[in-house]
Amino acid sequence: MNSWEKQITKLELLLGHQFKNRKWIYIALTHSSYANEHRKEDIKYNERLEFLGDSVLGLSISEYLFAKLEDLPEGELTKLRAVIVCESALAQVARKLKVGEFLRLGKGEMLTGGRERASILADAMESIIGAIYMDSDFKTAKEFVLNQFDKIIRDAKMGKRFMDYKTELQEYIQKEGTSIIEYKVINEQGPDHQKIFEIEVYRNNNGIGKGKGHSKKEAEQNAALNALNNLKK
C-alpha cells in the first residue's frame, strides 16, 4: 500500500465510510489546480462531484427539516436550510474531518493557504458527499450528512446563525498578500464560572481588532468581526 492509499484509509476512518470504489474519493479530493498542473495524466477533478454533492446535501437537509419541523412554513424552512448548507458550515465540517490534509492542490494553491481556505474546503466537502452517494446510495449519503452536520442542524434550529468571522478575516487579509495573524488574550475578568475574556487580534504584530466573550473562542470571533469592520472602513 503506497502513501496515498494509506492517507485514503486514514480519511475513510474519519469519514466513517469505506469506499468500495476509491476512484470517487480520489476525484473528490482533487482540486482543478492540481489537475491543471498534471494535464498529461488526464486527472479528473472534483467540480462535477461538487455539483452532485450539493444536490444530495440539499435534499438530505430538506427531507430532514420537512419531517422534523411539521409546523414550520416553507419560507422558514428555506431560511433554516440556507444556514445549514452555507459555505461556512461546510468548511467547519471539513475542518472537523481534517479534509484539508488530504486535498490534492496545485503548488500555487498550497502556497497561498488553499488547505485552509473556506471556499476550497466547502467545495471539497460537497464533493465528498457526492462521492459517498456514487459509491453507495442516497440513504448512506444522507446518514453521513445528518451525522456530520448534527451540531450545525441543532444550532440552526435554536436560532443560532453560523458565522465564522475568523475564517472570513483570514481570507480577507490573504487577498492583500501574506500576513501573520495572531489572537492574544489581553484581559480576563470574573470568577471561573462567569469569566469574561478579552482578546486582541494582531496582523503582523499590529493590533487590528478586539472582542470579548464568555469563552476564548467567542472572544476570538468577536475580535475577528471587529477587525473586519475596521479594515473595511
Catalytic residue annotation: 54, 126
Phi, psi of 43 (to 5 degrees): -85, 135
DSSP code, position 162: P
CA distance from start to end of the chain: 54
Nearby residues of 227 by Cβ (< 8 Å), 6 or more positions away: 169, 201, 203, 208, 209
**Alpha-carbon span 2 to 98, nearest angstrom:** 20
CA atoms within 13 A on the CB side of 134: 22
**CA separation, residue 22 to residues 7, 84, 139 (Å):** 12, 28, 19
